[in-house]
């Protein structure tokens, strides 16, 4: 990427492997829920999510290590998720729109492993809409599953 930045896609590995911005590396912020290694309440939560058509996920405990492995310690990174999120308040999101890439940016900053940390506004969906190069075929069926198309207006 320009100016020495590494683009890192923080979406789950299976989503990344189907399609991602060209040149992006992967370090998943969340991983699929491990049903065999959880408490009873965790199983109930995962079951409830699955029954509602949501793939149960849990935080990736190795995220920072995976991010360092993908981008390199001391590198400048741009983090991308599906929607991108925003720190700018708007009519729909009083405090801005929370996103996985913003959560990942927080973890990257506090880890003190990177020279500069940015997030990709609009995420992979915005990259796709801008007709920028993609590897694989972007799955438009995921658009709208979360409120990722609300504008900053």
76-101 pLDDT, tens digit per residue, is 999 999 988 899 998 988 999 999 99
What pTM was estimated for this model as a whole?
0.85
Domain total of the chain: 1
Q: Report the alpha-carbon distance of residue 133 to residue 21 in Å, rounded.
A: 6
Taking alpha carbons only, the member of 23, 139, 135 closest to residue 70 is 23
Q: Report the alpha-carbon distance of residue 3 to residue 130 in Å, rounded.
A: 20
| pLDDT < 50 positions in the chain | 147-153
In a domain, 150, yes or no: no
Question: How confident is the model at residue 47, as a pLDDT?
Answer: 87
In a domain, 153, yes or no: no
Q: Report the alpha-carbon distance of residue 20 to residue 86 in Å, rounded.
A: 20
Question: How confident is the model at residue 139, as a pLDDT?
Answer: 84
Q: What is the CATH number of the domain that holds 44?
A: 3.40.250.10
């Amino acid at each position: 990427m320009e100016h020495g930045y590494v683009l890192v896609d923080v979406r789950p590995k299976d989503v990344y492997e189907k399609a991602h911005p060209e040149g992006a590396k992967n370090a998943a912020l969340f991983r699929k829920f491990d049903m065999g290694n959880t408490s009873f309440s965790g199983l109930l939560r995962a079951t409830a999510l699955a029954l509602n058509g949501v793939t149960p996920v849990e935080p990736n405990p190795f995220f920072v290590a995976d991010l360092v492995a993908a981008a390199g310690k001391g590198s400048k990174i741009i983090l991308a998720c599906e929607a991108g999120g925003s720190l700018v308040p708007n009519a729909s999101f009083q405090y801005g729109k929370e996103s996985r890439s913003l959560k990942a940016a927080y973890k990257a900053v506090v880890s003190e492993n990177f020279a500069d940390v940015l997030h990709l506004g609009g995420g992979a969906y915005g990259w796709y809409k801008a007709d920028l190069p993609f590897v694989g075929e972007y799955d438009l069926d995921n658009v709208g599953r979360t409120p990722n198309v609300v504008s900053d207006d």
